[in-house]
Chain A
């Protein structure tokens, strides 16, 4: 399998001088689902930010399907981000628009026709079991439902890579499990998924690779196919 994302000796320092990532190297294979774990401040979100080009690595290389992201020109960044699906801890939904309009937004940005937008939005909402909520505004939904809307928005364009930053951070355990199951379902149909989470208990029973970060360094990684944290490589 080819790498969809490859970090090669990446370090990142905040403008204030604090090192948030130090010599990080890892890959996510095409069609793979990987969890990034670690305590708050370990550097999980920074890795996702570097992939989404919300920040640029101070040192090292981040490659998306073999292309060095450092080479992307500013005007190429929106088209690059359209290849990703982003899920956020605080959902980042537009509260003055309906669920349908929120999920439709990435398709409208890409210039899909109205007919196509309607069809694809309903398909995405069906996948997260929110088809009956398409005319509701996000503020009238529970946290779990809002996160599912966020996931539907992220997957509606069938992205090459789904990035989720603490997607269960604001959810109760039952809803958190449901959200993780939704990610797993998308991965089963071939979507590459990278989830940053500190909820080890939630994912340790799941059959996906884990990359664990401590103080900006990779401290442990489970091999592909490992089902629990006991089967690890320290790195």
Chain B
């Protein structure tokens, strides 16, 4: 009799579930609000832990952006055969400049090359002993800024096969080294982020464990009156969610504060190199990723702990 009556009064399972989740959502927030100092300290610890990889990620993103702007400075040098006349060399430079993907070209005659070498190397007297000018004429090719490394390399390779060209050299070794260092740093940040992610899980897990101990009697009563583990677990999972979210907010504030502190020195440094480079903050997507990672780690820490702890509390 009673069961039928109770069953008839219940709304659909979806609306019941939504109502229950809404209740627990605010209930768990209220529980944190009752202990603001403890919740704030936990959020600070999580925030500092998340801020380190997030900040490094933002900095590497800025260096990556800077290196992209340098990428356009990569030049190809085409060493011409000795048989190519200066007139033909200058014509060839103009022809190459008309090609797609090329921003500009420059022609350095054999004599210009020798004069420049004489001036820079300090071997002026020794060069006088040579009968012929040993240096070839050179065409410098500057690719368009939007060209990728691969496109620039392909263009250089193509120009190397021209009949007038003896040898071609792509001058971007230093850029490749920078990219290698960036790849290494990005991998390092990923490893640090993974380790600190585990630290967040442990931090949230330990906080939730203490919370469970403090609410042990409540859990026992709930079990006695028939609450399934999913019902008992839910508020703790939302607590993990709140810790993750608040930690992410703190981390974002730390990152923004760090960027604000570095903006002026970086601008000054860039100015010394005649660059208008300035530090960029995290993108909206990066912020979303950071919040998602924080919430996921908070939830995971809570889930792992509460699942283990609930099994230890009698009655089972």
Contacts and interface: CB of A to CB of B under 8 A. Distances in A.
Q: Do A and B bind each other?
A: yes
Interface string A6-29: 000000000000000000000000
Interface string B1-25: 1110110011101011101100100
B11 A81 contact: no
A106 B11 contact: no
A113 B6 contact: no
Given A113-B9, A157-B2, A158-B6, A81 B224 contact: yes
B315 interface: yes
A110 B19 contact: no
B315 A54 contact: yes
Given A74-B316, A114-B19, A190-B1, A109 B222 contact: yes
B227 interface: yes
A119 to B, nearest CB: 8
A109 B226 contact: yes
Interface string A94-135: 101000000001101111111010000000000000000000
Given A108-B20, A113-B19, A78 B226 contact: yes
A189 to B, nearest CB: 10
Interface of A is mostly: loop
A79 interface: yes
A84 interface: yes
A78 B228 contact: yes
B221 interface: yes
A184 interface: no
Interface string B153-178: 00000000000000000000000000
B9 to A, nearest CB: 5
B218 interface: yes
A92 B1 CA distance: 28
B26 interface: no
Interface residues of B, number: 31
B316 A113 contact: no
A116 B20 CA distance: 14
Interface residues of A, number: 35
Contacts of B222: 105, 109
A111 B16 contact: yes
Interface string A77-88: 111111110101
Given A53-B315, A158-B6, A92 B221 contact: yes
A54 B228 CA distance: 14
A153 interface: yes
Contacts of A158: 1-3, 5-6
Contacts of A78: 223, 226-229
B227 A109 contact: yes
A113 B11 contact: yes
A204 B226 CA distance: 32
Contact of B226 (A74, A82, A113, A114): A82
A113 B16 contact: yes
Interface in B210-258: 217-218, 220-229, 231
A42 to B, nearest CB: 22
A52 interface: yes
A161 B195 CA distance: 53
B1 A81 contact: no
A112 B10 contact: yes
A81 B19 contact: no
Interface of A: 52-54, 74-75, 77-84, 86, 88, 92-94, 96, 105-106, 108-114, 116, 153, 157-160, 190
Nearest 4 A-B pairs (CB), nearest first? A158-B2, A82-B226, A81-B226, A78-B228
Given A54-B224, A112-B6, 16 more contacts: A74-B316, A75-B228, A82-B225, A86-B225, A92-B217, A93-B221, A105-B221, A106-B226, A108-B23, A109-B222, A113-B11, A113-B16, A157-B6, A160-B2, A160-B3, A190-B1
